[in-house]
C-alpha cells in the first residue's frame, strides 16, 4: 500500500476552542533539531467537501490549492 506522510497541527484559542489541521509535514526531524520559528501563518477559505472524500482526493485538492496560492503570490 502506498503511503504519504501527514502531520496534525492543533491550534488552541484563548476561548477554549480548538481546531485540528491536517497537512504534509513542514519540517523533517533533522530540520526540527536545527531549530526554526514560524514567520507567517495563512488560512485558506473554508471549502465544503463531500463526506466520502478519500485521503488521496483530499491531498489532491490541497495540492491544487497550494499551486493556485503559489501562482498568486509570485
pLDDT digits (tens, 9 = 90+) for 46-66: 788 889 988 888 888 888 877
> Per residue in 12-31, pLDDT tens?
899 999 988 887 787 776 76
Residues 20, 7 contacting (CB under 8 angstroms): no
Per the listing, cell 533533522 goes with 30
Any domain includes 13: yes
Q: Is 41 domain-assigned?
A: no
Model pTM? 0.51
22 closest CA partner among 12, 8, 10 = 8
Per the domain annotation, does 25 fall within a domain?
Answer: yes
User: How many separate domains does the chain show?
Assistant: 1
Grid cell for residue 38: 514560524
Structural domain of 16: 7-32+48-73
Amino acid at each position: 500500500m502506498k503511503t504519504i506522510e501527514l502531520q496534525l497541527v492543533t491550534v488552541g484559542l484563548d476561548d477554549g476552542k480548538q481546531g485540528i489541521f491536517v497537512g504534509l509535514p513542514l519540517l523533517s526531524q533533522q530540520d526540527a533539531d536545527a531549530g526554526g520559528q514560524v514567520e507567517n501563518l495563512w488560512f485558506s477559505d473554508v471549502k465544503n467537501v463531500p463526506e466520502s472524500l478519500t485521503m488521496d482526493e483530499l491531498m489532491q485538492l490541497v495540492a491544487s490549492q497550494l499551486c493556485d496560492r503559489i501562482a498568486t503570490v509570485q
